[in-house]
Amino acid sequence: MTRAIGGLQEFVEELEKIGDVRRIREPVDPQFEAAAILTRLDRQAGPAIFFERVNGHSMPIIGNLLAAPRRLAYALCMTEEMLRNGQLPPNHDQLIDPVLVDGNTQRRVITADNGFDIRDHLPTLTHYRRDSAPFITCGVASARDPRDGGLRRGLHRVEVRGAKELGISFVNPPLAGVYEAHKKAGSPMEISIAIGVDPAILLSSVFKCPPDMDKLCAAGGLIGTPIHLMHAHTVDLEIPAQAEVVIEGVIDPRVTEEKGVLGEVSGYYLAFSSPSITITAVTVRDRPHFQALLPQGNEVDQILTFIHGLNVIPKMKTFFPSILDLHFTPGTFGSHLVMAMDSDKQGEARRALTMALSMQAIKKAVIVNGDVDIRDPLAVEWALATRFQADKDLIVIPGLGGQVLDPSANQDYTTTKIGMDATHPHRDGFEKIDFPEDARKSAMKFEIATTKGVK
C-alpha cells in the first residue's frame, strides 16, 4: 500500500475532500485558548481542527491531525480496522532512502538579522497554566553526528525563550548522543527544526532505529516512496523539503543549560535541562500552516501507542506464538499492556509477562485467556476479578528502566513494574457462561433501545 508523498498542506487537503477537517473562523488566542479548544475537541475523536484566524498572526494553525484512528490509519497506509486490531503497517519494516531535490526555490527565507523575532513569525502555543513559555511540540529536529557525519533526527520539545533563542530538550536518542558528542568536543552543533511535515515523517521521527540510520528511510518505507530533502539555508543539513516551516540554528554546548517547564503527556508539569539554540534563519512555504500537537491528548497517546507497538508486538509474538492479541490501554501513553493467550504450557503466561515488563515502555502488563475481549476494559476487569489471586498471580519487579515522562519514576528513570496473570487455572469451574449460537444470532436482529425520550 502506498500514498503520494506530500507535506502537511497536501495531507490536510486530502482530509478536507472527505470532510474530516473542521474550520474555525472565529479568532483564537495562541496563549491557552487554542490548546483548551483542541483538548476539548480531541476527546471527541472528531475531525482535525483548522484555526483560520490566530490573534497577532497571519499563519493559521492545524491541530488534532492524528487524533482520530481513521486519520492515523490513513497516514500509515492502513485501514482503520487493521489499526484497531493491533496490526502493524504493511510497510513497517521497509526502508527507502530519501532523495535530494531543489526545494529552496519554492521557499521564502527569513534571515535572523537585528530586527528578527521568532515570536512575530510563528503562532506558537502556550498550552497549560504553568508552562514556562510557548512550546513547539511538533518539530522534527535534524543534526549531523560529528562521530560519523550521518544525519540524525528526532521529535523534541522546543521552548521559545526569546527573539532569537529556543531551548530544546534532548531526553531521547539519537540526538541526545549527538549533543553529548558535541559537548565532549566543545564544538558547535548545527540544528534544524521542521514544523508541519507529512505524518509519515512525524511518526518516523520517534521510531526506534539503528543508531547510524537516517529515520527518514523508515518514513519513505511507510508510504512506499522516497522522502524529499533539500539543503538548509544557513547550516550544513539536509531537511524535509515540504516542511511548512524550518528553523535553522546553532547550539553552543559550552553554554549553561536552562530548564523549561511543560505540561507533558503524563498529565504533569515536567522540567528538563535543555541547551539553547541561537536562530540563524527561518524558511517557510507559500501560505504556511503551523502544526500543533497537544502534549497530552488522544493524538499523542495514539502516536506513542503505535510506536511502542512496533517494538513490542513483533517481539512478543515471535517468542510466544500462543499470544493471540495485544492491546495498549488508552490514556496510558503506551505503558499499560493487555495480552490474550491460550497455552497449555506451565508458566508460559508468567514468562510472557516478565518479557513484556523488561521492555522500557511497559509499566503494567495483564494477560488473559482468548475468551476475554482485551479491548473491552469491563471484560479485562472481569477476568481480574474472577481469575486472579495476588499471592500467586502478581509479579512485582523493582528497578527496571521506565519512561522518562513518568513523574513517579526514580531520578535515573527506573521504576517498579507489575504483571498480573488473569488466565483461568486448568481445572473445572471456569467455564464462561454463554448462549446457544441460534439464540445469539436471533438477538443480533434487535437494536438496543435507549431510555432517551421514553416516558
> Which residue, among 66, 89, 54, 80, has the nearest Cα to 15 in the 3D structure?
66
pLDDT score for 453: 46
pLDDT score for 452: 47
Q: What is the DSSP letter of 116?
A: -
Q: What is the DSSP letter of 57?
A: B
In DSSP notation, 363-393 reads: SEEEEE-TTS-TT-HHHHHHHHHHH--HHHH
Q: Which fold has domain 89-294?
A: Pnp Oxidase; Chain A (2.30.110)
pLDDT score for 5: 61
CA dihedral 181, 183, 185, 188 (to 10 degrees): 100
Strand pairing category for 139-144 and 165-168: unpaired
Q: What is the DSSP letter of 105?
A: G
- For residue 174, say if its preceding peptide bond is cis, omega within 30 degrees of 0: yes
Q: What average pLDDT values come out for the chain (455 residues) when binned by 10 residues?
A: 75 94 97 97 90 98 94 89 81 90 81 93 98 97 96 97 97 95 96 96 92 93 91 96 97 95 95 96 95 95 91 93 95 95 92 97 97 96 97 97 93 96 86 90 77 45
The DSSP element (H or E) to which 166 belongs, if any, is strand 165-168
pLDDT score for 84: 78
Model confidence pLDDT, tens digit, residues 178-218: 999 999 999 999 999 999 999 999 999 999 888 889 999 99
Locate CATH 2.30.110.10 in the chain: 89-294
Residue 387's region, left for phi above 0, alpha for psi from -120 to 50, else beta, is alpha
Neighbours of 115 (CB within 10 A): 7
Contact 397, 414 (CB under 8 A): no
The full 3-state SS of 397-444, as one line of letters, equals EEEEECCCCCCCCCCCCEEEEEEEECCCCCCCCCCCCCCCHHHHHHHC
In DSSP notation, 260-274 reads: EEEE-TTSSEEEEEE
Q: What is the DSSP letter of 227?
A: P
Locate CATH 3.40.1670.10 in the chain: 320-421
Half-sphere exposure of 112 (CA within 13 A, CB side): 22
CA 246 to chain centre: 20
Name which CATH class applies to 320-421: alpha beta
> Which residue, among 8, 276, 267, has the nearest Cα to 133 in the 3D structure?
276
d(CA 63, CA 45): 12
Model confidence pLDDT, tens digit, residues 244-260: 999 999 999 999 999 99
CA dihedral 89, 91, 97, 102 (to 10 degrees): -60
Q: In which residue are the cell numbers 483560520 written?
A: 52
Written as one letter, the residue type at 448 is I
Q: For the chain, what is the radius of gyration of the CA atoms? A: 24
**122: which 3 cell numbers?**
510563528
**9: which 3 cell numbers?**
498542506
3-state secondary structure at position 303: helix
pTM check: above 0.75: yes
pLDDT score for 425: 84
CA dihedral for 73, 222, 212, 151, sign (positive or negative): negative
Written as one letter, the residue type at 251 is I
pLDDT score for 448: 62
The DSSP element (H or E) to which 21 belongs, if any, is strand 21-24
